[in-house]
């Protein structure tokens, strides 16, 4: 039967080796993360290929020009050069708003917060005109 001193010494040894093992695992994890960061800094992964979610655009049929005219084009920017555009951008689908019986009331609430008149003028069947005169005259047509 083990004595209390034997159990305590074996427990100390066990705790010591568990601490060393845990420290080694943490060290290896940090070393792995540093390696991944270095790899991504030196050799970044290329962006994914663009998706064609809306199909390809049809080719534009330009009318034929008779005679040869020499057109001169220039870029009207501050630097005189085109800006650097990314090779791809994200395009998000715009959700068409659903018909709502309270749409006019919600629009009135939103426009009252930016100091438009609360009573709109009916322009046509579905079009309302909101106006304001302070600090300068503004008109907003709401459909």
Does any domain span residue 67?
Answer: no
Tell whether 33 is covered by a domain: yes
Could you report the per-residue pLDDT of 34-46, keeping only the tens digit for each? 999 999 999 998 8
Our count of domains for the chain comes to: 2
Question: Could you tell me if residue 42 is inside a domain?
Answer: yes
Per-residue pLDDT for 29 more than 90? yes
Whether 8 is covered by a domain: the verdict is: yes
Q: Classify the C-alpha dihedral 134-138-139-143 as positive or negative.
A: negative
What confidence tens digit (pLDDT) does each residue in 114-143 have? Answer: 888 778 888 888 888 988 877 788 888 888
Domain of residue 127, residue span: 105-142
Give domain status of residue 12, yes or no: yes
pTM: 0.38
**Is residue 84 in some structural domain?**
no
| Residue 94 domain-assigned (yes or no) | no
Strands 138-142 and 121-122: unpaired
Q: Is residue 16 part of a domain?
A: yes
For the chain, the three-class secondary structure string (H helix, E strand, C coil) is CCCHHHHHHHHHHHHHHHHHHHHHHHHHHHHHHHHHHHHHHHCCCCCCCCCCCCCCCCCCCCCCCCCCCCCCCCCCCCCCCCCCCCCCCCCCCCCCCCCCCCHHHHHHHHHHHCCCCCCCEECCCCCEEEEECCCCCEEEEEC
């Amino acid at each position: 039967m083990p004595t209390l001193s034997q159990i305590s010494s074996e427990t100390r040894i066990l705790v010591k080796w568990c601490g060393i093992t845990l420290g080694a695992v943490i060290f290896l994890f940090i070393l792995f993360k540093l390696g991944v960061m270095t790899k991504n800094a030196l050799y970044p992964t290329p962006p994914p290929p663009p998706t064609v979610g809306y199909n390809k655009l049809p080719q534009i049929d330009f009318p034929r020009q008779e005679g040869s005219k020499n057109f001169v084009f220039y870029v009207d920017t501050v630097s005189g050069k085109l800006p650097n555009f990314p090779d791809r951008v994200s395009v998000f689908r715009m959700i068409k708003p659903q018909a709502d019986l309270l749409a006019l009331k919600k629009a009135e609430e939103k426009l009252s917060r930016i100091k438009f008149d609360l009573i709109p003028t009916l322009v046509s069947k579905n079009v309302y005109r909101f106006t304001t005169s302070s600090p300068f005259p503004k008109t907003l047509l709401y459909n």
